[in-house]
Amino acid sequence: MNIENIEAFVYINHYGSFNKAADVLFLTQPTVTARIQSLERELDCKVFDRHGKQILLTEKGRQFLPYAQQILQTFQKGKHHLQSKKTMSNELRIGSTVSVSNYLMPDLLMVLNHRFPDVRFKLFTNTTDELINKLIAKEIDLAFVRKIVNPAFQSFPFYEDPIRLYVYKEHPLASEGTASIRSIRHEPLIFFECGSLDWLRIHRVFESLEQPPNIVFQADNLETAKKLVIKKAGICFLPELCARQEMQEGTLVPIDITETAGISLQTNLISLTGANSIFVESLLEQVVQRSY
């Protein structure tokens, strides 16, 4: 059985489109179609049905999918293993989102440098979508991004960052420690926006109120949002990691909001399947150590 036919099958199912799968695989749409036709001849059954513009798996296709995914993953791991250099690369290119770059990478880079003193590390900061494109194009070796599902990557949960409400130390809520969404509905709010689905959950919490929240400032930068709170311009929902130092110094005070409990930003470590395993394993050790 041709592994390229299986690859086309897995990618079409993931993206729900022959054209999108062709783009990701750097192929033409007719080539992808030909591979599926070849696979269907090998399996002696149809694997996809068209419903208008929608591409859906047939019953036989659904049955074959988990086997195809396992075959493709095993093949990719073996391929990367055989193609990997006997000597370790002297450069590792790491991509990360802004928050990871600011608050996690300095410590992680020190750990990597201590373990791999002969390796040079290059850091690239960008959005999750841009980092994924760079990884596919092999412009970076691994990346810290928001949680994604993509058959081209191996993905590992790396950091769970709770989103909490923060106020300045003189704020009346600072001595309370807890509040409800209703009790802060008239407070001047600073909203940090990062485009993540997790932040949309914060917005939805306010939808239960009769009137919209009193958003005075909207910022796309954590440091800006944080400094506005310290300057008493308002209160703000922030990831705990970015406010850790200010919490220790007492300039920011976390407030527990029942309605937003459990909302957090999840950062995943991703790389091409089977690639850079020695670096991935070293980084994942930090997750285990933080859990104790």
| 117-161 residue pLDDT tens | 889 999 999 988 899 999 988 999 999 998 777 777 888 889 888
pLDDT for 205: 82
Give the whole-angstrom CA distance, residue 92 versus residue 125: 14
Q: For the segment 104-115, what is each residue's pLDDT rounded down to a tens digit?
A: 999 999 989 988
Domains and CATH numbers, the chain: 3-83 (1.10.10.10), 91-159+266-290 (3.40.190.10), 160-264 (3.40.190.10)
Which residues are within 8 A (CB) of 220 and not within 5 positions of it... i.e. 6 or more apart?
Answer: 192, 193, 194
- Residue in the structure block whose two tokens are 């850790």: 244
Residue ranges of the chain with pLDDT lower than 70? 79-89, 193-199, 287-292
Helix (H) or strand (E) holding 70: helix 59-83
Distance in angstroms (rounded) separating the CA atoms of residues 63 and 67: 8
In the prediction, which pLDDT does 206 show? 80
Looking at residue 76, its pLDDT comes to: 74
- pLDDT value at residue 147: 77
The pTM score is 0.63
